[in-house]
Amino acid sequence: MERTLHDVSVGETVTVKAIRGEGAVKRRIMDMGITKNVEIYVRKVAPLGDPVEVTVRGYELSIRKEDAKMVEIA
């Protein structure tokens, strides 16, 4: 099974391999700047695990756990 952004530990930097899903959800993730081959640094995870705070393209972003599961990483 492929690793997803949901599986990444705090402090780790990963590269996006693909985005699963389709329609509005996939479009929203891509609109946030999470696209193929972009690097993502996981800054922190909320106490209950949702959301995950990441740095993408030089800005900070919070992404829900369900959305993070759709982002395949290398």
Here the CATH number for the domain that contains residue 34 is 2.30.30.90
Number of domains present in the structure of the chain: 1
Output the average pLDDT for the chain. Answer: 92
Q: How many helices (H) and strands (E) does the chain have?
A: 2, 5
pTM: 0.85
Q: How far is CA 67 from the centre of its chain?
A: 7
What residue numbers bound the domain in which 46 lies? 5-73
What is the per-residue pLDDT for 55? 96
What is the per-residue pLDDT for 1? 67
Cα distance between residue 1 and residue 48, in whole Å: 25
Per-residue pLDDT reduced to its tens digit, 3-12: 999 889 999 9
Per-residue pLDDT reduced to its tens digit, 21-43: 888 989 999 999 999 999 999 99
